[in-house]
Amino acid sequence: MIPPDVIEDILRRVSIVELISQHITLKKAGHNYKGLCPFHNDRNNPSLSVSDQKGLYHCFSCGAGGNALTFLKEYNKLDFVDSMKVLGDLAGIDVEYYLQNQQDILPLRNKLKTMHQIAQEFYVEQLFTINTPQTELAVRTIKKRKLDKKTIELFGLGFGGVAWDGLFTKLQSAGFKTDEIVLSGLCGKSENNKFYDRFRNRITFPIFDSEGIIVAFGGRIIDDSSNAKYINSPETPLFKKGSLLYGWNLAKDTALELGNVILVEGYMDVIRMFQAGFSTAVAPLGTGLTEDRISFLKHKVDAIILCFDGDNAGQKSTYRSAGIAAKLGVPTKVALLPENEDPDTFLLHQGPNAMAKILDTSIEAEFFILESAKSKLPDSNKFLQDVFEYAIHLEGDSNSPSLHIKTEQFLKKVSEILLVSYGSIELEFSRFKEQFLKFNNNTWENSYTDVETKTNKEFQEEFELLSILIMFPEFADHVASILEPSDFYNEESQEIFRKMLLHPEFTAQDWIISAGNTSLISLTSKWLEAPDIRIIKNYAVSIRIKSLKKKRDLISKQLINSDSQLNAQILEIQTEVIALKREFYHL
């Protein structure tokens, strides 16, 4: 037996329009498609209506109708299993795996669902009925975010508790085996074989599938400790983070009714948007927005509004997501937030009316890309980097003529802005794309300016360290004990390291997909095995020393009349440099 949620996931991924179009000709008719019904003699008057958004077809003459599964069974005369195999191939899901392991998988998945429900009850109880200093701090943290009771209950916020193994003990007493509990991702096992609660001392955010079943959790620290700010459940037989959107279980009904979704970046963004009345907000889990998730939304809504953070990282995410959406033919707009604001902070500072204005004045994604890139002029190199990055995601790796036409139309607009021939822009794009394909279909290389090339060499040490952390994120906390993000001289390095500390759940593949610097990404292949900790410490200490020296030199330039306060700062910096050098040369 194939698990019901796997069947649902397959049907979500398959475009019923593309499936039926393989057998009959469909033409666009408003939001739907029409064609001659294959289930009766429908020669002249197309009576079959197909809705990609709803995943259904219906004939107004003979009454035939259903979903993609029904169509395959009726049209190709296939049984349920063979139909699901065909649909699974189209969706990229191995149905055979579930058929071969059905006796083991279904009971295990049911156990995992039960454990997650027990965990949710435990976390809510810890937040609302257990009185400890840490619980009070968790409550204050939530109140500080100005979340009301209705919102807290709607999203199921809780607290992981104080005890190291409170949930573990509860799950054991409920009859679950230790290996099942660890497999659930709710608890872990230390090197000295002791079990611990993964979300201990954290505010918890349950993650639901589209049917409202809890399949994972996110957790946020309640203090300013050096621990990662957010952590997520690891992937399990129940949870694949790339296949879900946070908040979709709550947003789907309104989104289907209104025909659009607002895509934001994080848990708190979604929660704040809902509390403010914007109930179609959803966010990707752990990774950036993937083609799979945009494809899923394509079959559900008519349009997407991207409302990402107003910093450089948010802008890069917008470029990438807008490119993929354009490739898939999903109408996309961009809501522009002020610099260094995200939906959560913007709503806190400005309120719902200001957010409504931002959303109402959102602009077409392609217009946003071009206008943002034009701000880089007269530096045509940086302008081209931005527009070519978008064009690469727009074109993707598809050989579809329609996508080539879309890319060609976009590049013609680029040539008009620069007042150069389309042929020269096409040639430059080909060169840019060639550099891109050298490394990874989802990354690109800054190959246009000597300054960038020189900079990459100058920051080699920073990139070496970050490439190790991309492959082995477990070392990030150790590096954070030596370095702060501001110690990195390169701004991109600062952003990447800051994001590493905020998202320890990111895998190497997540970084390779989202990062925009191939000089960094290409280094990761050097670290297929974890290096000696001394190598990591060498890099960290060396970067810290350089950072301190830059600070010292800056203060020295400010010295006037031997200002005693500045002299004291220099002395303090010099003392740390000497101490670090001693450590560095004795590693």
Collapse the DSSP code of 44 into the 3-class scheme (helix H, G, I; strand E, B; otherwise coil) and give the result: coil
Report if residue 368 sits inside a domain.
no
In-domain check, residue 403: yes
In a domain, 488, yes or no: yes
pLDDT at 562: 47
Q: Which of 263, 300, 273 is nearest to 151 (CA)?
A: 273
Contact 235, 310 (CB under 8 A): no
Interatomic CA distance for residues 342 and 333, integer angstroms: 17
466 and 405 in a common domain = no
Whether a cis peptide bond, with omega within 30° of 0, leads into 38 is no
Do 90 and 121 belong together in one domain?
Answer: no
Interatomic CA distance for residues 305 and 370, integer angstroms: 17
Question: E strand or H helix at 205, and its extent?
Answer: strand 202-208
Condensed to tens digits (0 to 9), the pLDDT of residues 384-409 reads 877 887 888 777 655 556 667 778 88
Helix %, strand %, coil % for the chain, to 5?
55, 10, 30
Quick one: how far is CA 447 from the chain centroid?
Answer: 27
Distance of alpha carbon 425 from the chain centroid: 32
Point out the domain boundary residue: 99, 120, 154: 99
Strand partners, 470: none
Calpha distance 75→376 (Å, rounded): 55
Alpha-helical segments (H) within 199-260: 248-258
**Mean pLDDT score of the chain, rounded to an integer?**
81
* Domain endpoint, select from 359, 384, 411: 359
One domain for residues 565 and 467: yes
DSSP string, 62-95: T--EE-HHHHHHHHS---HHHHHHHHHHHHT--H
Q: Are residues 214 and 89 in the same domain?
A: no
H or E element: which one contains 7?
A: helix 4-13
Residue 346's nearest CA partner among 288, 305, 307 is 307
pLDDT-wise least confident of 166-170, 174-178, 317-321: 317-321
User: What would the two tokens of residue 227 be?
Assistant: 């621990």
Side-chain half-sphere exposure of 304, counting CA atoms within 13 A: 29
pLDDT attached to residue 430: 84
Whether residue 246 is contained in a domain is answered as no
Are 22 and 95 members of one domain? yes
Tell me, yes or no, whether 490 and 576 share the same domain: yes
CATH, residue 56: 3.90.580.10
pLDDT tens readout for residues 115-145: 999 999 999 999 998 888 999 999 999 998 8
pLDDT greater than 50 at residue 331: yes
Please tell me whether residues 94 and 106 are part of one structural domain: no
Contact between residue 98 and residue 2 where contact means Cβ atoms under 8 Å apart: yes
Whether residue 244 lies inside any domain: the answer is no
Average of pLDDT values for 211-222? 91
Classified as helix, coil or strand, 167 is helix
- Quick one: pLDDT at residue 182? 93
Say if CB 2 and CB 109 are below 8 A apart. no
Phi/psi of residue 478, each to 5°? -65, -45
Token look-up 């931005």 returns 386
Average pLDDT over residues 197-209: 94
Q: What's the pLDDT score for residue 444?
A: 34
> Is residue 59 in a domain?
yes
How far apart (Å, rounded) are the C-alpha atoms in residues 342 and 283? 13
pLDDT digits (tens, 9 = 90+) for 336-371: 999 889 999 999 999 999 999 999 999 998 888 888
Helices (H), 92-202: 95-100, 102-128, 133-144, 149-155, 166-173, 178-183
Question: What are the b/e assignments for 87-97, b being 16+ CB within 10 Å?
Answer: bbebbebebee
349 and 380 inside one domain = no
Q: Let me know if residue 371 belongs to a domain.
A: no
Residues in the chain: 587
CB-CB contact of 137 with 84 (8 Å): no
Q: What is the CATH number of the domain that holds 349?
A: 3.40.1360.10
Residue 447: pLDDT over 50:
no
Stretch 469-489: mean pLDDT: 86
Which pLDDT value is given to residue 557?
56
Q: The tokens of 280 are what?
A: 């179609």
- Domain co-membership, 172 together with 203: yes
pLDDT digits (tens, 9 = 90+) for 453-468: 333 445 678 888 888 8
Q: Are residues 87 and 106 in the same domain?
A: no
Long-range contacts of 27-34 (CB under 8 A, 24+ apart): 31/302
pLDDT value at position 319? 82
Q: CB neighbours of 444 closer than 8 A, spacing ≥ 6?
A: 385, 388, 389, 392, 432, 435, 436, 516, 518
**Residue 226 in this model has a pLDDT that exceeds 80:** no
CB 466 within 8 A of CB 493: yes
Lowest mean pLDDT, pick from 221-225, 255-259, 438-442: 438-442
Q: Is residue 354 part of a domain?
A: yes
Q: Which of 6-20, 65-79, 497-511 has the lowest mean pLDDT?
A: 497-511
Q: Is the pLDDT at 194 greater than 80, yes or no?
A: yes
Q: Does residue 169 carry a pLDDT above 60? A: yes
User: What pLDDT is recorded for position 457?
Assistant: 46
Same domain, 186 and 279: no
For residues 205 and 188, give the distance between their C-alpha atoms in angstroms, rounded to a whole number: 18
Residue with the larger pLDDT of the pair 526 and 358: 358
For the chain, the domain total comes to 5
**59 and 8, same domain (yes or no):** yes
Contact assessment for residue 318 and residue 339, using Cβ atoms and an 8 Å cutoff: no
> Cα separation of 137 and 153, whole Å?
18
pLDDT of residue 101: 65
Structural domain of residue 575, as residue ranges?
453-585
- Beta bridge pairs of residue 260: 303
Residue where one domain finishes, among candidates 75, 99, 123: 99
The angle subtended at Cα 491 by Cα 323 and Cα 538, nearest 5°, is: 120
